[in-house]
Amino acid sequence: MVWGITAITFIATAAILLALFYALAPGEGGMATRLSRLINPAKPVQEDSFAAKQKERMRSSLASIGKIVPGDSKQTPRSQLMMVRAGYRNPEAIMTIRGLKLLMPIALVGLVFFTGLYRVNPFFIVLMAAVLGYLIPEMWLLWRVSARQKSLRRALPDGLDLLVICVEAGLGLDQAFMKVAEELRIAHPQLS
């Protein structure tokens, strides 16, 4: 019994020491690096190069597929406005959504045929898969717009309070805006 308690205590102590060594050891993903990013936010956070390359490759391929689809001239300003409201200001973002609207119905209809779900009601299930595939990117975009608006609504009181404090402290309005943007960079990046 005493040997068991001693062994468990030794293993727990060794695990705690290893965790502390790993957390405090110099390295790219260590705690010290993450804390230095919080202390000095002016240095941009570098994204993993492989993940960034894959995202960019996916974005460019979806945008090239989206260029195939002819755009409706009445729908383009509305789509562009929705993309800006969602936080995507890149001109290729509209083409990416168009590419998704083309590929998602094909993927969902393929999934319906692959799983054998079409046997229940071939016409209705395939039609619903195609319609749902077309609407999923639009629903996702609406969700992104509402999420961004919600985060901006949450950040606005903090920004206004900080703006009032800066102006009352004697800063000019342009300097106060710069200070608010600098201070809110970590807590509320959307508003910053």
Instruction: Please name the amino acid found at residue 47.
Output: E
List all residues 6 or more positions away from 31 whose beta carbon is below 8 Å from its beta carbon.
Answer: 23, 24
**Full DSSP string of 67-115:** TTSPPPTTHHHHHHHHHHHHT---THHHHHHHHHHHHHHHHHHHHHHHH
Question: For 141-174, how does the pLDDT look when each residue is reduced to its tens digit (9 = 90+)?
Answer: 999 999 999 999 998 998 899 989 989 998 888 8
Q: What is the mean pLDDT of residues 52-70?
A: 79
Question: For 91-150, how does the pLDDT look when each residue is reduced to its tens digit (9 = 90+)?
Answer: 788 888 888 888 889 988 888 888 888 888 888 888 998 999 889 988 999 999 999 999
From 79, 130, 123, 128, select the one nearest 104 (Cα to Cα).
130
pLDDT at residue 59, rounded to an integer: 80
* % the chain with pLDDT above 70: 80
Q: What is the mean pLDDT of residues 22-26?
A: 58
Mean of the per-residue pLDDT values of the chain: 81
Q: CB of 152 within 8 A of CB of 159?
A: no
Per-residue buried b or exposed e for 86-110, using 16+ beta carbons within 10 Å of the residue's own CB: bebeeebbbbbbbbbbbbbbeebbe
From 111, 102, 87, 96, select the one nearest 58 (Cα to Cα).
96
Among 18-32, 38-52, 71-85, name the most confident range: 71-85
Q: CB of 130 within 8 A of CB of 108?
A: yes
87: pLDDT strictly greater than 70: yes
Q: CB of 58 within 8 A of CB of 93?
A: no
Between 90 and 36, where is the model more confident? 90
From 121, 125, 79, select the one nearest 98 (Cα to Cα).
79
pLDDT at residue 150, rounded to an integer: 93
Task: Look up tokens 């727990």; give the residue.
Answer: 12
Between 75 and 177, where is the model more confident? 177
Q: CB of 163 within 8 A of CB of 177?
A: yes
Q: What is the mean pLDDT of residues 49-74?
A: 76
From 191, 96, 98, select the one nearest 148 (Cα to Cα).
191
pLDDT at residue 92, rounded to an integer: 82
23: pLDDT strictly greater than 60: no
